[in-house]
Amino acid sequence: MSLIELKNICKSYKMGDFVLPVLKDITLSADKGEMLALTGSSGSGKSTLMNILGCLDRPTSGKYFLDGKEVSKLNNDGRADVRNKKIGFVFQSFNLLSRTTALENVIMPLNYTASHLSEREMIERGKEALIKVGLGERMDHEPSQLSGGQQQRVAIA
């Protein structure tokens, strides 16, 4: 079974009386551990497809299966639950909170995804993640005190 499977995905946007088709009949699958590259010119639908894959948006038609479960028809709350439990994002702008340390930025999502952990356990997980990405010595720094590459690694952690 594929981790990601898209079947005949279409996405269009209605602009008044005009319908703008962005994705037309996309079918693909990816197994766990498989790496894919999504390339294309500006305006070709890459971000639209990523928003669907990330459960930030739904396709106009077609089916999207993530880990065997159809997620294309889920409502906003259902998609939020999938994002919370199954999907990680590193946005182009990293979306770090500017007045919090690297460690605080890393442990904040754990309040939602691992609320069963104690505060001490969350801190330990955050420290371990920052050490894994080579930022063990910078965990008390705010984003403005980190380079762009270091900020990206905080977002990955």
User: What does the alpha-carbon distance between residue 59 and residue 23 come to, in Å, rounded to a whole number?
Assistant: 9
Residue 8 reports pLDDT greater than 80: yes
This prediction has a pTM of: 0.69
Q: What is the pLDDT of residue 1?
A: 82
Structure tokens at 109: 């999502």
User: What does the alpha-carbon distance between residue 80 and residue 49 come to, in Å, rounded to a whole number?
Assistant: 17
| CATH code for the domain defined by 4-86 | 3.40.50.300
Confidence of residue 89 (pLDDT cuts 50, 70, 90): confident
Stretch(es) of the chain classified as CATH 3.40.50.300: 4-86
User: What does the alpha-carbon distance between residue 4 and residue 63 come to, in Å, rounded to a whole number?
Assistant: 11
Tell me the average pLDDT across 104-120.
89
Q: What one-letter code names the amino acid at 47?
A: S
User: What does the alpha-carbon distance between residue 59 and residue 11 come to, in Å, rounded to a whole number?
Assistant: 5
User: What does the alpha-carbon distance between residue 136 and residue 44 come to, in Å, rounded to a whole number?
Assistant: 39
Query: Comparing C-alpha atoms, which of 81, 4, 96, 2 is closest to residue 49?
Result: 4
What confidence tens digit (pLDDT) does each residue in 14-56 have?
Answer: 989 999 999 999 999 999 999 999 999 888 999 899 999 999 9
CB 88 within 8 A of CB 155: no
